[in-house]
Amino acid sequence: MAQDLRGDQDALRIMTRRLNSALAEAGAVVQAVDHFLSEELGIGITAASRAFDSQRAVGDDDREMLVTSHLAYGRVSGKNRLYVLTATLDKNERKEPYTQIIAEERTPWADCSREVRLQSFAMLPELLGSLATRVEEVASQTAKTVEAVRELLEMMRRPLDAPEPVPAGAPSPSPPPSNDLDLTVTSDPTLFKRPRPR
């Protein structure tokens, strides 16, 4: 029995050393990701992973709520970094389950408990994928908005009586009909005649 206990203690020591080493490596990876995203790329966009933990909770008025935890990237304490987002969710007016966020807490990853750091670290690949997708969406939307605003500015700068610009490849519009009456010349070049209305 004592032999078994000693064997379990030795195994626990070995596993604890491995766990400490893994957590130190995870911390180094998080620092490298923080530096790469905020310093090298300068990404100022927020994204979050799916929940890595969710727990039921009871509010002050005995309403049941859901508390979810996500690995996220964004601005916390004046700096862009990886953090753990803890969201408290309530049912909305239509009684759809837990879709209304009533509270949020953002904790820098390095300041989280050991257990939370280990749980959230597993979501890092997913978060990086979500962040890349979000950056692509924002870049595309921004390019469309820039083009739309440039067109609006061009229209606003045009004088009110200026003709509409002809898009490239479109046929040129025909000139508007003239309201002036035509004058005809008689055999006597000094005399002009107006045509009679018919």
Model pLDDT for residues 26-68, shown as the tens digit of each residue: 999 999 999 999 999 988 899 999 999 999 888 777 778 889 9
Residue type, 151: E
Nearest Cα to Cα of residue 38 among 69, 68, 73 = 73
Token representation of residue 177 = 């009909």
Interatomic CA distance for residues 112 and 169, integer angstroms: 61
**Which tens digits make up the pLDDT trace of 110-153?**
999 999 999 999 999 999 999 999 999 999 999 999 999 999 99
Token representation of residue 2 = 């004592």
